[in-house]
Amino acid sequence: MTDQPTPPHHETPAVGDPDLPQEGLVNIADDPAANTMTGPQNPALAAQFPSQLNAPATDISTQAFFWSSFNISPRRVQRGGWARELTQSDFAISDEIAGVNMYLEPSGIRELHWHQTAEWALMTRGGCRVTTLSREGLPSVEDVFEGDLWFFPAGLPHSLQGLGPDGAEFVLAFDSGEQSESNTLLLTDWFAHTPPDVLAKNFGVAQDAFADLPLHDLWIFPGEVPGDLEQDQLAAGVEWGGTEPVIFRMGKTAPRFENSGGSIRIADSTNFPGAKTVAAALTVVEPGSMRELHWHPNADEWQYYLKGQGRMTVFNTGPHANTMDFKAGDVGVVKRNLGHYVENTGDEPLIYVETFRSDHYEEVSLANWLAHLPPSLVSQHLNIPEEVLATFPRGSQGIVPLRAPRER
């Protein structure tokens, strides 16, 4: 028999649950035998999800599973680097965005290619040389580093190459849940499957120029460490001011929200004109603080957790409310319009990126909504005195900092 203690952050709430009986361990205070678990168990796995095994009493029913992780995704490794992905086939709820976590060693090249969907990326470690063409056929060659973004519209060709000394690690988000790294249009594949006489005619050279073409795609392969950036730009014919920017230095932007509890930086078409179909928020939540109760009316939220640990409850129609725990490398999805928060449950900053299939970022703050209603109306709904409502936040906070509760 295994007894499962209630985690400290799941103590029985002082307020009532509108759906009776309540769920969770609150039901078995006088009947601990009801918590007996005698079947096969995986304690290491169960320890990753305390809020699933012992849910808060406010959780109700079940809904589509909104947790997955690159940590459980198969990793494809080749000379030059590796990648692992989460598509809708792996993670059913994620129909708007597919994600890839990739590493390129110093000199490692993600071969020249293009996609049938748009590609958004956040550099999480190291540096990467990025090449692409604009829709007008103008070239871009840039170096990106931790905290930087890039965005390639669907159909535009590009390459990625790790810089020294650490190579490049990044997360990619495609604006379709069905997009896969294995479903990519590769330069070597096209050459290998085009008649040599056609290649010769196209490029105006003899057929024997193509005698040593690779017969299999390269995907990721080791090359030479990129040299001077300006020399590569000159060789590629980059004309400054003549192409749409594909790079965005997100870490250097002013936060949309910032206080002692953390910060939120936004990248969308309002400050990154190249980002036509994907918007993002880089969120930092300090220990004990939380991303405020809110929802997004214009798109699903695809989350990638970079550092720390947290928990999130997603509120759905039904009602359904379920709580899940997240750690570095995990991915979460919240469908549009569903209420949620993200609370830092660890002792270090929780850092994650929120990604949306939209050209702009939108959110509705619960506190901001209530602050802009007649107090008597809110009081009649929640049975909270108007003088207490007057102490609520008067607008969006973004992050709720750790603070002592006010006395009533």
- Kindly give, in sequence order, each residue whose CB lies less than 8 Å from that of residue 204, ignoring residues fewer than 6 positions away: none
Two tokens, residue 271 = 């400050």
Q: Which amino acid is at 68?
A: S
Catalytic residue (choose from 169, 181, 354, 363): 354
CA distance 266 to 117: 22
What's the CA gap between 309 and 306, in Å, rounded? 9
> Rounded to the nearest 5 degrees, what angle is found at the Cα of 321, between the Cα atoms of 316 and 323?
125
Active site residue 354: yes
Q: What is the three-state SS of the chain? A: CCCCCCCHHHCCCCCCCCCCCCCCHHHHCCCHHHHCCCCCCCHHHHCCCHHHHCCCCCCECCCCCCEEEHHHCCEEEECCEEEEEECCCCCCCCCCCEEEEEEECCCEEEEEEECCCCEEEEEEEEEEEEEEECCCCCEEEEEEECCEEEEECCCCCEEEEECCCCCEEEEEEECCCCCCCCCCEEHHHHHHCCCHHHHHHHHCCCHHHHCCCCCCCCCEEECCCCCCHHHHHHHHCCCCCCCCCCEEEHHHCCCCEEECCEEEEEECCCCCCCCCCCEEEEEEECCCCEEEEEECCCCCEEEEEEECEEEEEEEECCCEEEEEEEECCEEEEECCCCEEEEEECCCCCEEEEEEECCCCCCCEEHHHHHHCCCHHHHHHHHCCCHHHHCCCCCCCCCEECCCCCCCC
Q: Which positions are annotated as active-site residues?
A: 354
